[in-house]
Structure 1
Amino acid sequence: MVEGAVGTAVPDGLRFTLPAERTASVAALAAAEQQCCPFFDFRLHLDGKVLHLEVRASADGTILLTELFGPGA
């Protein structure tokens, strides 16, 4: 979902910046992830030519969040 994205840490999660052209595919994958992992909070923000995707989790989901979306994932 986030390969090639620029990632940064945000409170309780991670923020990825991707080309806006990937919005539809990222939104579809985020929706699918939400079905299996409702403890994740996905937020998408279109900003001109880029899409910012924030993925957050409660303390219980932080380890899984890092495993799925963190560096080297």
Structure 2
Amino acid sequence: MSRPGETKDTLFAVMEQIQQFKQELRTRQIRMPLEVAEFVFAHPVATPVQMGRETGIHYKTASRYLVQLAAEGLLE
């Protein structure tokens, strides 16, 4: 059983990581919708087709974004 507030603490930590990831995108001047960052956190293992379906981004564009993030060292 988890202690009271542990889930909330975990949620806030993840939210902070998402914000840091978005800031890193801005710092490196990587131009892409911020929904991409949110999708990557929500679905750490996904295909460009899945990303496209959930975000409304064409799957080829989603693929390009994922390749760009990997090239920048932000995804493995």
TM score, norm. by length of structure 2 = 0.35
Return the structure number with greater relative CO, CA threshold 8 A, min gap 6.
Answer: 1
